[in-house]
Structures are given as structure tokens and as C-alpha cells.
Chains A and B, each alone.
Chain A
Amino acid sequence: MNDPVNSNFENRGPAMANMNISMSPKSLGHLVPWAVAIAFFFLFPERLGQWTEILIWVLFTISMDLALGYAGIVTLGHAAFFGIGAYTAGLMSIHVTGDPIIGMVAATVLAGIAGLITGMLILHTTGVTLLMLTLAIAAMLENWANRATKITGGDDGLQGMELGNLFGIFEFNFFGVTAFWYALGVLFIWFLIAYRIVRSPFGRSIDGIRQNANRMRAIGTPVWWRLVVMYGVSAAMAGSAGALTSYKTEFVGLTVLQLLTSGIVAVMLILGGQKTIYGAFFGAAIYIMVRDTAAETYPFLSEAIIGIMLILVVLFLEDGVMSVPKILRRRPKKAAE
């Protein structure tokens, strides 16, 4: 990847492998994550907060998968869009309307526009420079939000959100039932969009750009524009996830904009597996469950546990949890040789 001369087009990846969805028994697998999510709602109602958090991070991680996984845009600044979404949803509910749908749309659109604009500015660069630019954007926003206490509440966070009922009926309350279903619904819609995008001709050209931008340019693909559009979609999705967090907690803190947030979403993506979309479910769920369990049992060592997990994943499970079945299938063959 680092050496443009020697990087050939990769073999057809997992994205190609399951391109055809028909009603075969295999395709029932697509229902599993949703069935699990709904089942847990009934099985562990006391853990609803954690599950809602996982769903939100799944959405954020899918958005990262579009940018980093499929398009190869190396970013450590996705928290910027997550944060824009969160603050927009929060501020809308305080100053304009408490309607969670209007707030969600506003947050998504605004984050998407921010993605398009910053994407236009930075996507002609690659590698470390791009990484630094994305980092700088997020850091800029974070420090601005910290300073602009009148608008954002600064370090204390944005307080006093007042939410209306979802569809005018369902109340956002302490039990978090509405928040859970809202998160699940928004995630499902975005999931369908993402699933469609990466299998469309547009998505295929994005895949080509990641593998070799120069060759794609040579066959006439508008590389820069395609990347900008993908980045914009990804940003909009991150904005939705941000809005969901603010609805879940009815509070927006500065952490939504921090480097750590950008880092965590990248961790979840790598942990689950890039370019799979489904990897996001595993990555987010494993990360959050390990984090919470570690925090309960070894409160002082939780960072170390996550850090060690990261190191091990990068060293030994490069393609994430989603690649485990493939690795297991490959093993016996190797032994036979």
C-alpha cells in the first residue's frame, strides 16, 4: 500500500464475495445482528443503556468503515462530525424545537455539509499529511467548543436539552426504551444505505481508488470528487450517530470532539474488520463490553486492558474479528501441505 509501484489490485475481497443477496439460507445470516439486538432488548432490559450505546457506536463505526475501510481515507478526526451532530441535535432541542426527527435531520445534514467542505479542502492529500489535517480539524473544533462557553457550555457540557416525543407519541425517559428503538431504527436505515453504496458502481469505483488511485485516474474516474462524496456521506452518518448520543444522555460533553473519540472508533473498526460493514457490530460490541467489564473489575487497569487488546489485534488479527472464520478455514489446509 505504501509503495504505489508495487501495489497490484488486490484479490476480490469480502465485499465482492457476498455481492449477491438472494433469499438463500446463507442470506438469513443478514438477519442475525438485528435479531440479536432485538432479543437483548427483551432478555436484558437492565442493560438497555449499554445496548443503546453499542448501537450508536456501530453506526459511527460503519461511517468510519465507509471512509477508512472502503475509501482508504486515513482519518483521525472523525470525532469532528460526531461532535457536530451531537452539538447540533443538542442546540436544536434547546433553541429551536425538541422534535427528535427534525433535530436528527439537521444534525445529519450539517455534519454532511461539514464533511463535504472539509473533504474538498483536504482530500487531495494522502497518508500522514491527510491524517494530520483531519486531526487538526477535530482539534480546532474541540478547542473552539471549549472556548465558546456561551454556545456549547464549554468544559461543563451542554445542559438543559428538552426533547419532544418521538413521532409525538414515544417519550424519551429515564428507562431509555425510546432511545434504544430510535437508535436501532436510525442504524437500520443507514445500514441499508451503506450496504447499497458499497455494492453500487460508485462503491466499486471507491474500492478501486483505495487500491490504486493513479490507475483509476488513468481510466477517467474523477477520483477527488468520488472521495469527497464518500467522505460527505460518512460524515453525515457520523453526525447521525452524534445526534443519537445526545438524545440518549440528553447532554453533550466535550469528549464527543476529542482525539480519543476518533481513536476509539478506529479501534472498533479494526477490531471488527474493515470493508465488511458487519465488522462494526462486532467491533463496537466487543470494545464496549470489554471496556465496561474491565472498568467494573479492574478500574485502574481498564486503559491498559484496552491498550493490550489493541496491540494484539493489530499484530495477530489484522483483519479483525470478521476474518476469524476465514482463518479457521485456512488452518487445516496449511497443515495438510
Chain B
Amino acid sequence: MSLVSFLTILLDGLAFGMILFIISVGLTITMGLMRVINLAHGAFAMVGGYVVAILTGDGMNLWLAILIGCTAAGLLGGLAEMTILRPLYRKGEMAQVLLTFGLAFVSISALTEIFGPNPIPVVFPDYMTGQLDIGFRTYPAYRLFLIGVGLVMALCLWYLIDKTLYGARLRAAVDNPNMARAVGMNVSFLFTITFVGGSALAGLGGAIGAGILPLEPFYSLKYVVLFLIVVIVGGEGSFKGSFAAAIAVGLVDTAGKFLIPDVAPYLIYIVVFLLLLWRPNGLLPPKSVA
């Protein structure tokens, strides 16, 4: 393999991984915090994406559209959390799986009804659709943009979670929710705002990732397995783990498509399977489960 193709795989894998990270990080933290399996997380990404696609289709500035899309996804997430998801925390895994499965179903049906069954595109501005010269080859500016956004978001989240009071509370609640409550933290409120933030991030990922994961009504069911993989391979509740897992999934999947296309469609599942047999709690599990 030449150096050029190696670097291409690296960049493509990173771009894909960053999208997975942005969408999945909210799921990681909410699953770690409340141990609730949310198969509807993809639906929030999808809603954010659809809002942006429609607004940019009408000629709105991409960044403004993203702001609106994220707000919409976040509000919807908060609403769902406060109304339907809250009674779920005390129930078993299967009840959680099924209810959120039901939510995903409803979102599929609603979007098909309103916007039709076909994928709809997000209109990216010209400076993102072209090619950039990066020394050894020209490379799509869009993918570089994804990598950039992913890195910026990862840095912001790292600061938020590792360096602020909110982050300290969040980590404490993930590690031991009962103890956090006992020392007077309002864990439910913490969870609601985290859920809103996570859904808004998913909306961002859904919007800017539309070039790689096309927006269509079945989006939420189609990719939810990928998002879950990132969460569980990274370790539930582990922000750093989900970053590592998302990049790993992106790289393995991309490398597989380039190098062994026959095996590629199921390569990622084989890797995940072996990895979870080796480390059932994920790569970097938080203290509560390690």
C-alpha cells in the first residue's frame, strides 16, 4: 500500500469517525448516567439533519441553519426525556429498547409522511464542496471540515467535562448516581440538560454528516447499531472511550472498504464482537463499572 492511499484511508476514516463521535457522544453520556438504552437517539440526529436540509434548501446560511437545527433537536430531546423516557429508568432493558424502538418507528413514519421516502440533501456552501490541495493529493474540503468540527467539539467537550463544575458533577453522577444524590445533587435535572445537550449534538452530527450518512426516513434505524457500537465499545458513560471507539470504528470500516471489500460489510461487527469478548465493559469504562 502506498503512502498516499494510506493517508487517504486515514483521513476518510477520521472524517467518518468524527461524525460518529459527534452523534454518539450524547448517547454515551446519557446511557452512562441513567443506564437507559435509547434506540431513538438516531431520530434526534435525523430531526436536526432534516431541519438543516430544509432550511439550507431554502437558501439559508448553513451555520444559522445548524444553530436552528441543533436547537430543534435539543428541545425535542428534552421534551421526550421529560415526558416518555423518565418513567423508563426503573424498568428493564427490554422495556427501554422497545419504547425507544417505538419512538424511532414514529419518527420514520412522520418523516416519510411529510417529506417522502427519498433521501434529502443538505446544501453545503461552495467552499465546502470543492477540493483542497493538501500536499500529497487534492482532498474534498467537506471531509476536512468534518475532521475540523469533530476535533473542535472533542476539545470543547473535554474542557466541559474535565475542567468545569458541571463536568465534575456529571462525572460524579455517572460514577455513582446514588452517592451524587446523597450529597445533594439534582441528578434528574443534570440528566435532562445533558440529554438536551446530547440531542443537540446529535442534531449537529446528523446535519453536517449528511454527506456521509444520507438523511432519509429510515436513518434512525439504519445507523443506530453503529451509534450503539461506539457507545458500548467505548464504555458506557466514558467520553474519552467514545472518542477512541468512534475513531476506531471509522478507521476499521474505511480501511476494510479499501483493502478487503468482500469482508468489509461485516468486518466491523466481527471486530466489535471480538473486542467485547475481550473487554465486556468497553475500551475505557468509567470507574463505576470497571
Residues in A lying within 8 Å of B, measured CB to CB: 1-2, 68, 74, 76, 121-122, 124-125, 127-129, 131-133, 135-137, 139-141, 143-144, 146-147, 259-260, 263, 266-267, 270, 300-311, 313-315, 318
Contact = CB atoms under 8 A, between A and B. Distances in A.
B10 to A, nearest CB: 24
B80 to A, nearest CB: 11
Contacts, number: 129
A74 B105 contact: no
A2 B95 CA distance: 13
A2 B91 CA distance: 8
Query: Interface residues of A: mostly helix, strand, loop or mixed?
Result: helix
Interface residues of B, number: 43
B37 A128 contact: yes
A301 B280 CA distance: 39
B92 interface: yes
B106 A267 contact: no
B94 A270 contact: yes
B93 A136 contact: no
A170 to B, nearest CB: 38
A263 B221 CA distance: 11
Interface stretch (B60-68, B187-195, B262-270): B262-270
Interface in B209-236: 221, 225, 228-229, 232, 236
B272 A136 contact: yes
B204 to A, nearest CB: 25
B52 interface: no
B113 A314 contact: no
A301 B99 CA distance: 18
A286 to B, nearest CB: 14
Contacts of A306: 102, 105
Contacts of B101: 263, 267, 307, 310
**Which of B31, B93, B94, B229: most chain A CB closer than 10 A?**
B94
A318 B95 contact: yes
Contacts of B37: 128, 131
Nearest to A139: B269
A306 B98 CA distance: 11
B104 A314 contact: no
B105 A143 contact: no
19 contacts: A2-B35, A68-B94, A128-B232, A135-B225, A139-B266, A141-B266, A147-B265, A259-B221, A270-B94, A301-B109, A307-B102, A307-B105, A307-B106, A307-B109, A309-B102, A311-B99, A314-B88, A315-B87, A318-B91
Interface string B81-100: 00010011001111101110
Contacts of A144: 265-266
Nearest to A148: B262
Contact of B99 (A137, A260, A300, A310): A310
A306 B109 CA distance: 10
Contacts of A146: 265
A311 B103 contact: yes
